[in-house]
Structure 1
Amino acid sequence: MPRTHLPTQLAPASAWLIEDYRRAAVRSQPAAGGLAQVELPQVPQDELWLVERIVVHCTSSNQTAARLYLDSIAPAGVLDGSRAGNFDVADQGSPIQVPGGSVLICQWTGADNNAVGTMRVQYVVLKQRR
């Protein structure tokens, strides 16, 4: 005799809703040993940030490279980068997702001692709703 499969109710799905459009700017401490670094505050657990635009600038007279990382300075954490770290703009056609609990970090390499790096970020904040 064939088995009959009845539909079962699923738990309510969560949804991401646009909460806000934000901009942030962070400035590094003076560079030492060729490195300058900044990080944005940790993303709240119930949020997802969609990074649409990033501008990096460094006051170094030497040419710098800038790399964007998620959570840690490690090859597995690289999100984006530029060989023109003294000034460059990344206008993301496909936004970078930064999930809740994560930290966005920018590091400049090749900087003169005492050079300062600045990162400006434009992003959409999504809030999780149940």
Structure 2
Amino acid sequence: MEGSPAVAAVGTSSSLPTTPDAAHPSLEVLSVGEYDGTRFSLGPLIGLPRLRTLTARPGSLADPLEVAGLTGLEFLELGPQEWRLLLDADAVPRSLSAAAITPQDPGESPSVVAIANELLTLWDRPRINQAVLEGDLGPGG
């Protein structure tokens, strides 16, 4: 695949059909989307020298723990369930400089903050403070 792009996407209508199609030594950024319920393996990407960024829609990875094999990642975006698997397995790549947690629905917000705090703790960063406010908003509130 001479001249393969440094940025690729799999799993969307305007993308490559599989991760092996995207795997190339020049690949730096990969986006994994949803495609008819297909889940994608990251195995073909392990060992790519320039892969620094991976974004994966919630539920799009066949085995989220394969992320641990991507040792050069600097940015990783996953859903809360995928992050939970990585945290529980102590498999969060230590090479990360930034992370994003993408919930599928707004009801996942409390778990997003909990996961973010666990990630921040891994790098000895300050945690996100939370406060619950209770009260009466008055008429019309």
Q: Which has the higher helix share?
A: 2
Query: What is the TM-score with the length of structure 1 in the denominator?
Result: 0.22
Larger radius of gyration: 1
